[in-house]
Structures are given as C-alpha cells and as structure tokens.
Chain A
Amino acid sequence: MFEDLRDLYQEVIFDHNRNPRNFRVMADADRQVEGFNPLCGDRLTLFLKMDGDKITDASFQGSGCAISTASVSLMTEIIKGKTETEADALFKTFHEMTTGKDEHINLEAVGKLAVLAGVREYPARVKCATLAWHTLDAALKNQHQAVSTE
C-alpha cells in the first residue's frame, strides 16, 4: 500500500525505530548537547565519551519520528571509534547526501547511513534526518547550548 515510500522508509529505518541502538543516558559523558526541532517537537540529548580527540562511546535519549530516531541511532553506531575530524567529515557528507546538492555522493563513505538518502525527495522531512548530525556538530565544537533546527 505504501509502495511510493519504499525509498524513504526502508526496513533498516523501521528496525532502528523499533529498537534504537545506544538509547541510554550516559552518566559520565564528556559532552552532552540537546537538539530540538521546534517544527515537529522532536527532542534529543546526545552524549559522547571522548578519549583525546577520539569518540569512544556515544548514546542518546529523546523522542522523535522514525526518521529522526533511526538517524540518531545509526549515527551513534557509526561515530564510535572515529576521531573528531573523521566524524566531522561524515557530518559534511551526510549533509550533502540529504540536502542533495551533489548527485555524486560516494555512498560507500557513509555506509549504513545511505538508507537515509531517500529524505532528499521529501523536503519536509530533511530536518528529521539532520537533527542528530547538527547536534553532533555542536558537540564536536564543544558548544553547550541546545541546538535548534529553526
């Protein structure tokens, strides 16, 4: 019945929505930033554990739609073990992939995150996918104010 939506709602997204990974409070986090999308009311808190410039652990709390939950869940998986520079490069690639200015994104570079490329066709939903990454961006820059998509 929802054939048209197959590119947007892939099975991986449903899976991460049902069972979000790294969904927990991190009491000893080195960085903690809140992200908020006032348009839809999505809220998340991102926690990072750092060892020098390396992200050794990442987790989140909050509530959002399937796209935003899957996005943050996938993100926490993929950034673990990355350096700040690597994570920042991923943020830029992800942003490019979802806002769609460049058609020739190397989807291999983003691995599993490629399942979110479909939002590019749904301008109303792009911010759902990018909220997690803007929050990460703030955390990497060591900003403590809450991030808002608006």
Chain B
Amino acid sequence: MTTFPLERIRADFPILQEKIRNKPLVYLDNAASCQKPNAVIDSISHFYRHDYANIHRGVHTLSVRATDKFESARAKVREFINAASTKEIIFVRGATEAVNLIAQTFGKANIKAGDEIVITAMEHHSNIVPWQMLCQETGAVLKVAPMNVQGELIYPEFEALLNTKTKLVAVVHMSNALGTINPVKKMIAAAHSKNISVMLDGAQAIPHVSVDVQDLDCDFYVFSGHKLYGPSGIGVMYGKKALLEAMPPYQGGGDMIKTVSFEKSTYAGLPHKFEAGTPSIADVVGLGAAIDYLNEIGMANIAAYEAELLAYATQQAKQIKGLMIIGEAEDKGAILSFVLDKIHPHDIGTMLDSLGIAIRAGHHCAMPVMDFYGVPATARASFAMYNTKQEIDVLMDGIKSLIKVFG
C-alpha cells in the first residue's frame, strides 16, 4: 500500500485524539458503529446554523434550501449504490427499521400461510425477529440455510431450500459476528430463476464493499448511516421501483399523502409514500457528507487497505497460543472474532479497555451464531479505514498480557 492517505484520514477523525483511561484510544468496535470525520460533524453543524427548516412544506427560502440539501443527499445515496432512480431511495432510521418496513409492507402483501422465507444461519437478530413476527402473524414458515465451521454459507443447501413456496430470501451481505461475505450475486440469480425476491442486509457490507444494486440485481438493500461514518438515527431502504409502487405504505401521516379527507386519503408517489412525518433532516445531510468523504478516498482503496489490516491481524492472532478465531471464511471483511481458552470475552473486554482498546464482547446480536460455535460470546475486533497496524500490535500485546495475568 503506497498511496493510502492514512495520516490524513486519522487527522480527519477528531475522536481518535481522545485518551481512554490515560491511554491513546484504539477504537476497534467499528462493526458496532464507526466514528465520524470532521466533514460529517461540520456538515450537520453548518446545516443547523445556516440551512435548517422543515422540508417539502414551506414556500419560504429556508425551507426550499433545506429541501434541496436533503434531496441532494438522496441523490448521493443513489449514486453511491448505483440505484436506477432517487425514487428507490427511502430514508428510514436504520437497517432495523428497513427490515421491519419490508416485513410489514412487502411481507404482508405477498406472504401468506404456508409460504416460506429463507434466511441464513449467520443473520443479525434484526434480520431474524421481524420475519419471525411476520411468520407468526401470517402462518408463513422461516427456513434457515446452514453454514459450515468456517462460517461460510453451504451454498447447495441454500439453493435446495428455494422452491415454489419461497416468497423471499433475506440474507446478510456481510456477517457482523463472523465477517463472512456471502456470495450474494449468485444467490440472487438462483432466487430470481425461481421468481423469488431477495433482500440484502447491507449494514456491515456498506462501509467495506463497493455496492452496485443494479449489478447485484437485489430487490431490496438496507443499511444504517452510523456504520458508514455517518450519523446514527438514519438509514436507507433501497427497493426496486416496481416493487415499491406495488407495496402498501408503512406508516401513515404527513408527507406521505397526496390528498386527505375523512373518507379517504391518497398516497404520495415514491419515495415520499414511505417517509411519513418529519425525518431526521440534518442526519440525512450528514450521511450525504459521509458519502462525499468516502468517494474522495475511494471505496476500492478502502477495501484494499482494510484487507491488508485483516490479513495482518489474522496472521498475528494465529501466533497467540490459546486464541481461536471464530469465522474463517474465504471471502471475509475486516472483522476478527475470537475466543481465548478459559478466558471469558467480558473479561477480555474489560482488560483491553483498561489499555484504551475498545472491542466488542458479547453475542453481537447473533445468538444463533454463538450457539452454532458452542460459545456464550466472542470478543470481536472490527477494523475501519482509520485503523493502523500499530494499533493491531497494541491489541495483540494486550491479549498476550491478559493471558499471562489469567495464567
């Protein structure tokens, strides 16, 4: 890696200067949420200082200006994932709300008793529970495609689950607990050959992988802004226009209607039909700023740098006796989940925290994955473009020292 502007990137993230317990912060909990660059922080503050008003409602100048900024962020999202139209970009609170939206609208309209929904063994709870709720309401059945011990989908078994009763495949693009990147393009093609719609949970993939929804040909793609260096409280549901048009609205209220009388209301066109009420306006603007920032660095450059970080971390981790990596998929994003012999992940988390290192210890909202590996929890270091090999050295030294202390 010769040209990756690591120092400049680190300087752009003010929180990286924080001291935690008198030590320099080593932030390795990026899969839970990423830190924010000045570009995002400043864009939100600038928006509140100079451009803020409610959107889509006023004729006054400020409302027009706020609406322009809001809609231009939608255009940036469209371009970032290469959607065909801004009408296909729906702002929601996050990946979780997006999955629930799809379950409650597309799901209720298209999925009946006896129908099947296929997910995988490595889903986040947010891509399990909304489907279980739908199944309970409708009498549909949830089917789970299994994985192997490396944490890879067993593709033939996935394909075997697809049949005439299957109405939806909802799968994680990249697993938050294991790092596994699923062969989604192939999965989508297989599902489409049987007329089955596909939703991808892109919460983890979006900051690491260049996503092109038209090339993938997915029907829905969902993600959260906060894992993409943007604000929390905002996320995106992409859906193909024809599907979105046929779906009933999600919530009713202002902004999502064309006309309202006490007898009947008619709904607004896309994307507003799914955006009832005043949204998190400044956070949408902040998400747009995050996308500008990422485009400047280049998603391909980021992916290449993170691959280097992961390879280095994996190689270092393998030298530690008593450390077992959980999730060793061939195709994997920058996540290192691990357990240590006889040391509980919570103790690892507290001990590393005392050294200024932030990792996640727990079940990562993926209890079925923990059950699969027979562990109550794992420790997880997850990397972002601002992390360094020196930080990985600090992590590995910390792990070696705590193993000694536990002896």
Residues of B within 8 A of A102 (CB): none
Residue B405 at the chain A interface, CB threshold 8 Å: yes
Q: Do A125 and B21 touch (CB < 8 A)?
A: no
Of the stretches B242-250, B307-315, B347-355, the one at the interface is B347-355
Chain A residues bordering chain B, tally (CB within 8 A): 24
Residue A9 at the chain B interface, CB threshold 8 Å: yes
The chain B residue sitting closest to A14, CB to CB, is B406
Cβ-neighbour of A9 out of B377, B398, B405 (below 8 A) = B405
> Interface readout for A41-76 with B: 1 if CB under 8 Å, 0 if not?
111000000000000000000011111010000000
Q: Do B362 and A64 touch (CB < 8 A)?
A: no
Q: Do A64 and B344 touch (CB < 8 A)?
A: yes
Residue B370 at the chain A interface, CB threshold 8 Å: yes
Q: Do B362 and A39 touch (CB < 8 A)?
A: yes
Residues of A within 8 A of B405 (CB): 1-2, 9, 14
Q: Do A63 and B406 touch (CB < 8 A)?
A: no
| B342 smallest CB distance to A (angstroms) | 8
Q: Do A128 and B346 touch (CB < 8 A)?
A: yes
Q: Could you tell me which residues of chain B, from 372 to 392, have a CB within 8 Å of some CB in chain A? A: 375-377
| B371 smallest CB distance to A (angstroms) | 10
Known contacts A4-B21, A5-B350, A66-B406, A40 near B401 by CB under 8 Å? no
Residues of B within 8 A of A66 (CB): 343-344, 347, 406
> How big is the B interface, by class?
20 to 34
A61 to B21, CA, bound (A): 35
Residue B402 at the chain A interface, CB threshold 8 Å: yes
Cβ-neighbour of B376 out of A17, A40, A67 (below 8 A) = A40
Residues of A within 8 A of B407 (CB): 14, 18
| B341 smallest CB distance to A (angstroms) | 12
Residue B173 at the chain A interface, CB threshold 8 Å: no
Residue A114 at the chain B interface, CB threshold 8 Å: no
A128 to B350, CA, bound (A): 12
Residues of B within 8 A of A5 (CB): 350-351, 354
A17 to B406, CA, bound (A): 9
Known contacts A40-B377, A41-B363, A66-B406, A2 near B346 by CB under 8 Å? no
Residues of B within 8 A of A39 (CB): 362
Residues of A within 8 A of B361 (CB): 40
A64 to B406, CA, bound (A): 14
| A66 smallest CB distance to B (angstroms) | 5
Q: Do A41 and B362 touch (CB < 8 A)?
A: yes
The chain A residue sitting closest to B349, CB to CB, is A124
The chain A residue sitting closest to B398, CB to CB, is A1
Q: Do A41 and B351 touch (CB < 8 A)?
A: no
A43 to B343, CA, bound (A): 15
| B182 smallest CB distance to A (angstroms) | 25
Residues of A within 8 A of B354 (CB): 2, 4-5
Cβ-neighbour of B346 out of A1, A14, A18, A65 (below 8 A) = A65
Q: Do A2 and B377 touch (CB < 8 A)?
A: no
Known contacts A40-B377, A63-B376, A64-B344, A1 near B355 by CB under 8 Å? yes
| B324 smallest CB distance to A (angstroms) | 16
> Interface readout for B217-253 with A: 1 if CB under 8 Å, 0 if not?
0000000000000000000000000000000000000
A73 to B350, CA, bound (A): 21
Residues of B within 8 A of A9 (CB): 347, 351, 405
> Interface readout for A9-25 with B: 1 if CB under 8 Å, 0 if not?
10000100110000000
Residue A140 at the chain B interface, CB threshold 8 Å: no
| B355 smallest CB distance to A (angstroms) | 7
Q: Do B401 and A1 touch (CB < 8 A)?
A: yes
The chain A residue sitting closest to B406, CB to CB, is A14
Residues of A within 8 A of B376 (CB): 40-43, 63-64
Q: Do B350 and A41 touch (CB < 8 A)?
A: no
Q: Could you tell me which residues of chain A, from 71 to 115, have a CB within 8 Å of some CB in chain B? A: none
Residues of B within 8 A of A124 (CB): 350
Known contacts A9-B405, A41-B377, A65 near B347 by CB under 8 Å? yes
Residues of B within 8 A of A42 (CB): 344, 376
Known contacts A1-B401, A41-B376, A63-B376, A8 near B350 by CB under 8 Å? yes
Known contacts A1-B355, A4-B21, A64-B344, A125 near B362 by CB under 8 Å? no
A-B contact pairs, 17 of them (CB 8 A): A1-B355, A2-B355, A5-B350, A9-B347, A14-B405, A14-B407, A17-B406, A40-B344, A40-B346, A40-B361, A40-B376, A41-B362, A41-B376, A64-B376, A66-B344, A66-B406, A122-B350
Q: Give A residues with C-beta under 8 Å from B.
A: 1-2, 4-5, 8-9, 14, 17-18, 39-43, 63-67, 69, 122, 124-125, 128
A5-B351, A128-B346 given; 5 more Cβ-contact pairs under 8 Å:
A4-B21, A9-B347, A41-B363, A65-B344, A66-B406
Please name the 6 residue pairs, one residue from A and one from B, whose CB atoms are nearest each other, closest first.
A41-B376, A65-B344, A65-B346, A4-B354, A41-B377, A1-B401
Q: Give B residues with C-beta under 8 Å from A.
A: 21, 343-347, 350-351, 354-355, 361-363, 367, 370, 375-377, 398, 401-402, 405-407
